[in-house]
Structure 1
Amino acid sequence: MYKTLIYDFDGTIGDTLPICIAAFRKAVTPFLNREITDGEIVSTFGPSEEGTIHALIPDHFDDGIHAYWTAYKELQYMAPKPFDGIRELLDDSAKAGFHNVLVTGKALTSAEISLEQYGLTTDFKLILTGSPKGPNKPENIVKALKETNTTPDEALYIGDAPSDITSSHAANVKIAAALWGSVIEPEKVAALKPDYTCHSVAEFRQIVLPN
């Protein structure tokens, strides 16, 4: 029986990955004097946004990260609401006694911007964010277990990316693959054998709140 639900953010809570890509492009293009491709941006993912800015424009980090935060906030209109059913899922799972935790690769600044946009600033018992030094989800999943007094078999991670599956498995936590966003890699996800595969929030809800 699960008692702690650990959520990814981008592509799981909201369709925010396109916002991230657009904000990175808007932030770094003036310093590169050329258009940057989605592939170039995505290839730097793993660290939090500070790590991406440092990888793309290391000589202009301070100006670049400030431009990114500004652009990210301005572009919230691209995904102004969480995915359908997320608010109700968080409310109802909390009422049912679950701990709702956020473990995201986002920086705290962007996580706070999106949580405020979605009206979800008080919905998570614990919020653990990314590191500019590199991926830290396995460590943060383990930290979330300790903070909520949860054993690995009592927790379920919910994320959309292949790296979410490897991160949860590294922490010995089961994962539900969230394939309801606009940017998904179903073949790569399937190859990593998630414990559950869900194509809608409603489908995931049936796992944790079957009635």
Structure 2
Amino acid sequence: MRTKAVLFDFDGTLADTLPVIFHAFQTVFRRHDRREVSPDEIIGMFGPPEEGILRKELSHCGSLEEAVKEFYHLYEENHTRLVRPSGDIRDLLAFLRDRSYRTAVITGKGRRTFEISARELGLSDAFDVTITGNDVEKAKPDPEGILRALDELGAAKEEAVFLGDSDADIAAGKAAGLRTYGVLWLPTTQASEFREKPDAVFRRTAQLRELLEGEAG
């Protein structure tokens, strides 16, 4: 069946936002918890939105409200400095729009940080459906967000593909019954290889375009 809907993870898949995420979390943990956390440790915390991560992981924080406020400030203040737009991603999304593919983002990040990144990268109107970590009860690898996106798009699982840069993404896509592809096409990703086996791994955005063009004949 020809693909009609293309679903994406966001951080590390459509936007090289992991550097600003690491910076914001590391600064908050250093100032509010007096401990250093590595990028790998931060990735291990992923699942709930940012406020949920801080609520769960901060051990000696005097004020969670202040820590959360500072995280959002750091994320927005350093976004332009640490996140570089990708021309390849912009071209890929234009290709999908021009050929009438329906698109969705399913991300574990909260609505607030997603909207900051989407605005800064010029992607605020790029997707038909956006499901953030604030919109689901169960984070990836649970397929809840993907299934909800399919429902909102009006697409069958056989008509859709899902792409992400983490094992949780691959597991979620597979659990939802979609063809699922690992992507390693941005400078900073959650995985350098996948323990969960995707249907294929794309190291260039052109590989997705070639797949879709091949289907269309």
TM-score, normalising length: structure 1: 0.91
- In structure 2, the residue matched to 1:183 is 189
Q: Calculate percent identity across the aligned residue pairs.
A: 29
Instruction: Summarize the Cα distance change of 1:116–1:15 in structure 2 as closer, same or farther, 3 Å threshold.
Output: same
* Residue 103 of structure 1: how far off its partner (Å): 0.8
Kept after mapping to 2: 8 A contact 1:44/1:55: no
Q: Which moved more, 1:50-59 or 1:104-113?
A: 50-59
* Residue 43 of structure 1: how far off its partner (Å): 2.3
Q: Which moved more, 1:125-134 or 1:5-14?
A: 125-134
**Residue aligned with 2:45, SS:** coil
Q: Does 1:123 align with 2:126?
A: yes
* Residue 34 of structure 1: how far off its partner (Å): 3.2
Distance 1:112 1:4 in 2: 22
Unaligned runs of 5+ in 2: none
Kept after mapping to 2: 8 A contact 1:160/1:177: yes
- In structure 2, the residue matched to 1:31 is 32
Kept after mapping to 2: 8 A contact 1:93/1:209: no
Count of matched residue pairs:
208
Distance 1:125 1:12 in 2: 17
Residue number among 108, 113, 124 corresponding to 1:105 in the alignment: 108
Distance 1:99 1:16 in 2: 23
* Residue 133 of structure 1: how far off its partner (Å): 6.2
Instruction: Summarize the Cα distance change of 1:39–1:90 in structure 2 as closer, same or farther, 3 Å threshold.
Output: closer
Unaligned runs of 5+ in 1: none
Distance 2:128 2:137 in 1: 25
* Residue 134 of structure 1: how far off its partner (Å): 5.1
Q: CA RMSD in A?
A: 1.9
Residue number among 65, 77, 90 corresponding to 1:74 in the alignment: 77
AA paired with 2:15? G
TM-score, normalising length: structure 2: 0.88
**Residue aligned with 2:96, SS:** helix
AA paired with 1:88? D
Q: Which moved more, 1:69-78 or 1:35-44?
A: 35-44
